Amino acid sequence: MTKLMFVCHGNICRSPMAEFVFKDLAAKRGLSDRFIVASSATSTEEIWNGIGNPVDRRAAATLRQHGVPFDGHRAVQLQKRDYEKYDLFLVMDENNRRNTLRIFGDDPDEKVKKLLGFAGGGSVADPWYSGDFEAAFDDILRGCEALLETMEN
């Protein structure tokens, strides 16, 4: 079983969207039992008194619009101990990569990868600033499809 952790800054937009898009793609291909999939944040900005905020309403609306199911996700912060628990950490952009490495201290097994590195490179558009959740969804879908293709082979 392959354990995947999608990572972004706050764990309310891009990383939970990627978590649920990947789960949906895997389920549609009958591969759900091959993966454990989660998401987390590099910051605590969306976590208050130990309780994380839910998926951003605009991200949730975008997932619904595309028929991607999602559950009662709440933001959680990436922890140093997660490095041993997961096989791959899929970050959305270079800032996420840098902050993930800061949390881990090192990446001796080269587990930290940019999601779009599986689809030709680049960063997942950040809808927090642009408001363009559709662009983020398109990037995430492209990255998750390419990642799943890699994992299938």
For residue 143, what is the enclosing H or E element?
helix 133-152
Please confirm, yes or no, whether 8 is among the known catalytic residues. Answer: yes
For residue 24, what is the enclosing H or E element?
helix 14-28
Please confirm, yes or no, whether 126 is among the known catalytic residues. Answer: yes
Please confirm, yes or no, whether 142 is among the known catalytic residues. Answer: no
Q: Comparing C-alpha atoms, which of 87, 82, 56, 81 is closest to residue 70?
A: 56
- The counts of H helices and E strands in the chain are 6, 6
Q: Comparing C-alpha atoms, which of 99, 94, 95 is closest to residue 79?
A: 99
Token readout for 104 is 């881990």
Considering the candidates 14, 93, 97, 144, report the single residue annotated as catalytic.
14
Considering the candidates 13, 126, 139, 144, report the single residue annotated as catalytic.
126
Considering the candidates 8, 56, 82, 97, report the single residue annotated as catalytic.
8
User: Residues with catalytic annotation?
Assistant: 8, 14, 126
